[in-house]
Amino acid sequence: MEFTWERDAEDGVYKQRALSNRLLKAAAREFKITPFTTKVDGFGKRQGESVTLVHYKPVNVPNSPQLSEHQRVPIDKLEMGGRIIVVQEWGRGLQYTSLAQDLSKFNPKNAAQAGLIEQMQACMDNGAAAAFKESKIRFTPTSLTGGTIDVNATFSTQATQNMTHAHMALLRDYLATDLHTPYFEGENYIGLMTTRLLRGLKNDRTVELWHQYLRKGDLIFRSELFRVEQIRCVEITNEDALSNSVGAGSCLGEGLVFGKDAVSRVEASTPELRADPNYQGDFGRVKAVMWHGLINFGITWDSANDREARVIYIGSKDN
């Protein structure tokens, strides 16, 4: 029989209590946003504190390229743009005592490591979501078929309606024809959406379930539920990343619809676990583990311009 011990007074004796063979664990929230970011290649340690993403501005197409016999060839200027992402130090730790490790049936170091991995994933997803939400283009549904599109990084209107198929068609067409945003994969955009937002689409009964459009060898994303208007929809239940309750009467949940190269991830040091067996000294009686990394996220195209903007942020003025 194995036991756990606790004091019956501040300076009293220890009591014995038998431990169950099963360790109960609080349910972990699922985090799914970071995989949709793009890691910046060629950046790592000892390469400075920031990275500049360089791009060429689109070249305008003339109304007519025809030339007259004595006309000089018109010359356009090739313009460059850039986006700076500053790397930051991220991390957090948990401590435990050698007494807990000596007397516990379950190793607290293992529990601390598992908890920190979940925390690290949560922080990464929250950081990725914040970068997506830097989008200058925002959409608020205000009727069954329409809504307001803002292009100045603010919501001007309160949502009065949950999302419908008509809204998704509007966003798909805006990405494809107004912004000429490249697809994320194949001929599909991605939608990261909360449970409440997706409920509006489910109730619309016009969705394609994933097994109807994926073919053998195709990759299904974690928590992907269905597709609407060439937008593959993934459920996000992490309310620290996307709120499940915005708009009048909490009628709407937040969402993100985007194409290729929407958010960039800069890693000088990929987040990892570290252990300190002698945390704060005291002869090794207090121990700690932590996760640490040099990382940051940033929206790749900080623009609402045609052929540059890649993300539409769905939400409401009351965010």
Residue 197 pLDDT > 60, yes or no? yes
Instruction: Please compute the mean of the pLDDT values over residues 307-317 and round it to a whole number.
Output: 96
Residue 283 pLDDT > 70, yes or no? no
Residue 293 pLDDT > 70, yes or no? yes
* Domains of the chain from N-terminus onward: 135-264+299-314 (3.30.2320)
What's the Cα-to-Cα distance from 187 to each of 50, 132, 201, 229, rounded to whole Å?
33, 21, 20, 11
What is the rounded CA–CA span in Å between residue 301 and residue 319? 23
Residue 20 pLDDT > 80, yes or no? no
Which residue type, as a one-letter code, is found at position 283? Answer: F
Instruction: Please compute the mean of the pLDDT values over residues 57-75 and round it to a whole number.
Output: 82
User: pTM of the entire structure?
Assistant: 0.82
What's the Cα-to-Cα distance from 119 to each of 158, 213, 215, rounded to whole Å?
33, 34, 35
pLDDT on residue 299: 94
Both tokens assigned to 250: 């909490």
Say what percent of the chain tops pLDDT 70.
82
Contact 291, 117 (CB under 8 A): yes
Instruction: Please compute the mean of the pLDDT values over residues 157-178 and round it to a whole number.
Output: 97
**C-alpha angle 197-201-204 in degrees, rounded to nearest 5:** 145
Residue 55 pLDDT > 60, yes or no? yes
Cα dihedral sign for 147, 152, 303, 254? negative
Helix (H) or strand (E) run with residue 199 in it: helix 195-204
Instruction: Please compute the mean of the pLDDT values over residues 193-198 and round it to a whole number.
Output: 96
Contact 318, 245 (CB under 8 A): no
Q: How far is CA 5 from the centre of its chain?
A: 42
Size of the chain, expressed as the number of residues it contains: 319
- Provide the 8-state DSSP code for 253: -
| Mean pLDDT for all residues in the chain | 84
φ, ψ for residue 294, nearest 5 deg: -110, 105
pLDDT on residue 1: 45
- Tens digits of residue pLDDT in 79-99: 777 788 888 999 888 887 765
